[in-house]
Amino acid sequence: MAYTINVAINDNLGGLFLASGVIAPALNASLAGGAPIVNTPSAAATLVFPALPTNPTGTTTLLVDAAPPAVPPITAVPPPSPATITGDLFRSGPITLPAISPALVARNLNVVTLPVSATTTTFATINAGAAGSFSGSFPIPASWLNYLSFAALNPNTGTITGVALSNPGAGLVLTVTGVLTVTQFWFVTVNHNFTLTVPFTAGPSHDATDPNRILSVSLGGATLIATGIPNFVSALIAPNLVSQLTLPNGQNLQQALESSFNSAIQSAVPTGLAPVGLQMTATATISALAFTSSTTGVTPTLVISDLIGTATQPIPPIPTPPPPSPTSLSVSYSPAPQFNSSVFYYFTVKNAASGSPVANAVVSIRNYQTIGVVYQAGKTDAHGKLTASLKLEKITVVIYRNPKNGHEETKLEYPYLSVSAHGYTSYSSELS
């Protein structure tokens, strides 16, 4: 059966395409799986894969990029500087069937463009992130021993002390500085400072298997300058330094460069989406339509694409934290309750957890007198204290009267103490 993908572009953010839905004069889509890779070029927003010899099984990948070898400029907004797809529109990463088969029929590939102003990343930002990948000691490759022996040098250790990615104007350059510790003339230990300069190029990766590999990097010819090491020896070491050097994090130079670029790009995407209240869906991937660099930084033209979901979704609101649990009050008073006589009582109100005084706590007494119930109240001072002259009285309450013999069952009702304060659970107890 044929597999069809409708490419749906949401260009509200990036402004890279016209609303007509025209993507490019031609796109190339590659479906890989149990069957041989099947390619389908398309000049419209529909990608149709003809029936496969055998249906792909297990894990597959889908790559949608510019149809080689050349792609005319697409109609862009605003003119007269049209954008051109030279890179990737979608790199799926491994997806398991039946995500694309046979349910791929009439499935949408949702594409959201990003403004280049939000994805431009300075070299300062990239270098700050790269420092951790490059810095530290590295093992000396065995092949170096032969070259350094020409200068009576036996390398012991190498240490990278600095790294800088830049574009001086003629293209991208990686500069690595460090120290090579050697034994010179078989018994003298000497530190030789070195500077390794590697020109390189970067661009859309066209890698459908690794969704994190937005850009790929190709290294050029390296030059090495080292104090105390003859130039002809440095010239021999430089290519090996690039190809054989294992960085402290276990990567080689090319892998570390790609990681630095791609980490910086991935960090920039949430920043580009946040102002409009959006975030990537869990199944979306980032791809680069194009890539340029200047003397200050890099500017990838990025899209967020999703074959399973909508590519972006609203950022969920931050839940309002529940109000803090009310804190308990600790209440003490003296002397012990005395009845039928006026006595000064001293109340102290504190935070039960911290022991700190609670000011403005309302102290109420439900007191019994012959005329009924009377409330006597006061508020604590800044030290959580209140002094009140009270005449506590209790009453006898009839709870049952025998209608035959008039016998009564009674109980005593004692005064009741209540204390309340803002933000605290009210306190109450009987004064008996």
pLDDT number for residue 73: 35
Does 329-430 carry CATH code 2.60.40? yes
Helix (H, G, I), strand (E, B) or coil at 381: coil
CA distance 55 to 36: 10
Amino acid identity for residue 151 in this structure: A
pLDDT number for residue 420: 92
- In this prediction the pTM is 0.65
The candidate with the shortest Cα–Cα distance to 13, out of 297, 279, 357, 404, is 279
Rg (CA), the chain: 39
pLDDT number for residue 77: 32
Query: What is the C-alpha end-to-end distance of the chain, expressed in Å?
Result: 89
pLDDT number for residue 34: 42
pLDDT number for residue 379: 92
φ/ψ region of 89 (left if φ > 0, alpha if ψ in -120 to 50, else beta) reads: alpha
Domain ranges in the chain are: 3-120+265-314, 122-255, 329-430
Mind listing the pLDDT tens digit of every residue in the chain (432 residues)? 566 777 777 766 665 654 333 444 456 667 665 444 455 555 556 676 665 545 555 677 888 876 543 333 333 333 333 344 568 888 888 876 554 455 445 567 888 888 877 788 889 988 888 887 777 777 776 666 555 555 555 666 778 888 899 999 888 999 988 888 777 666 777 788 888 888 999 989 988 889 999 999 988 888 877 776 666 566 666 666 677 777 777 788 888 889 888 988 888 888 888 888 899 999 999 999 888 888 998 888 888 999 888 899 999 988 887 776 678 899 999 999 998 888 999 999 999 888 899 999 999 988 876 555 667 778 999 999 999 888 888 888 777 787 777 788 888 888 889 999 988 989 999 888
| Cα distances (angstroms) measured from residue 133 to each of 90, 125, 151, 162, 259 | 28, 14, 31, 11, 9
Task: Tell me phi and psi for residue 304, to 5 degrees.
Answer: -110, 125
**Max CA pair span of the chain:** 128
- What are the tokens at 157? 């250790």
pLDDT number for residue 68: 46
